[in-house]
Structure formats: structure tokens, C-alpha cells
Amino acid sequence: MIERLTGELVATRDGSCVIEVSGVGFELGISATTLFKLPPVGTEGVRLLCRMRARDEVPVLYGFATAEERSLFDLLVGVSGVGPKGALAILSAFSPEDLVRIVAEGDAKRLSAAKGVGKKTANRLVLELEGPLKTNDELKGLALMASASSDGEGASTAAVANAPAIAEAREALVAMGFTEREVDLALEGAPGDATLEALVGGALRRLGGGA
């Protein structure tokens, strides 16, 4: 079992990255949340926590920037009808804090907004995850942290809405087919005085490769 990998980030792709360790390149499936936490390609000493799952009897590695995200992945793939690909889609659509909050509030409708998650699966996720989230050592404190940070998130959203160029860039990127979560991550930290072209161009570069 590979618990974690530390090495040079040599490539990022749509839904995956490659880390070279002692001359061996390991490809890992990752969520958008982890993708946007990665440094530029070529950076050494990059560490990702890992899980290995079998797909068509072939072992596949998945990487996570945080222990909380990995724990959520473990719980998600344990729900009937949710495989590793579906779990990464959910973790791409919601931050760990948001996902814990959604389950705690029983908001299956919002959960069904994730790619590939239907109404029945969303309801099943809410029912089956509520208990484990309260007992998992790495996750049981996350709901409290998410609740405490809700005011800060609202202020951040308001700040983005007050910057016309950022708001327009967000609308344009969503229209291109990117999820709201991916767009938020791609525009995170963008200056409010940047031009629309600069914002969209920079976001597309991050969305296309995390560079």
C-alpha cells in the first residue's frame, strides 16, 4: 500500500498529475481541489497522500492534498453507486468543508449538482455519510470549522461580486463548461483591478494545467 509520495511534479493533466520519485513517474488521479493546491510543474518536494484502488483489475493511484480530502474519498467510495471517478467529481465540486456542511444539513439537492450524481445517489450519500462523518477522527471537527468560516466565505463572495471584471470572468468560464468550484479555485487570489482578458487567460492556464 502506497501511503504517500514525495517528489518532483512533472506534469498536470485533466484530472491527474505525475510525480517523479527516484526516477519513477507515478500518475495519480486527483480532484480539482487538489489540482489547484499544487505548485507549478517542475517543483520538487511535492507531497500527496495516496489511495490505491483497482479499476478493471489494474491498480490505480489517487492523490490528495489533505488528509481530510483523502478521508472523504474513502467514505465516498464506500457508498453504493459511487466509484473513485464519482468521488473525485464530488470532491472537485465541493471543498471538504462544504461537503461536510452539505451532508450535515441534508442538502441532497445541492449535492446532486456534482457531475454524475443523480437525485437517488445524492440522497443515499446524505443518509450514509452523516454518521461516519461524526465519528471519523480526521473529519468530525471539520463541520465546526466550516461553520465558523461561513461568514468569511460570504465576504469573499461579496468581494468578487463587487469586482465587475472578476464577475464577468466567472460567468464566461462557467459558460465554457467549467464547474463553479473549478472557476472559484482558478480565480482565487485574482486582483480586482485586472482586465477581463487577463483574468480569463490566467484562469484558463490554471484550469488547463495548474501552471
| Contact criterion met (CB below 8 Å) for 79 and 28 | no
CA angle 109–181–55, rounded 5-degree value: 80
> What pLDDT score was predicted for residue 183?
83
Question: Confidence class of residue 67 from pLDDT cuts 50, 70 and 90?
Answer: very high
- From CA 21, how far away is CA 93, in angstroms rounded? 29
**What does the pLDDT read at residue 191?**
66
pTM score, whole prediction = 0.72
- 147 pLDDT more than 50: no
Terminal C-alpha separation, the chain? 30
Residue 152: per-residue pLDDT: 46
Report how many helices (DSSP H) and strands (DSSP E) the chain contains, helices first. Answer: 11, 5
3-state secondary structure (DSSP) of residue 132: helix
Q: Which amino acid is at 21?
A: V
pLDDT given at position 68: 93
**Do 78 and 20 touch, CB atoms closer than 8 A?**
no
Domains of the chain: 4-64 (2.40.50.140), 67-148 (1.10.150.20), 151-209 (1.10.8)
Any alpha helices (H) in 78-195, and if so which ranges? 84-93, 96-105, 108-111, 119-135, 142-148, 150-161, 164-175, 180-187
Helix (H) or strand (E) holding 16: strand 16-21
Averaged confidence pLDDT in the chain: 83
Residues 6+ apart with CB under 8 A from 79: 121, 124, 125, 128, 129
Which is higher by pLDDT, 16 or 174?
16
3-class secondary structure, 119: helix
**pLDDT tens profile 20-55:** 999 999 999 999 889 988 999 999 999 999 999 987
The pLDDT value given to residue 49:
97
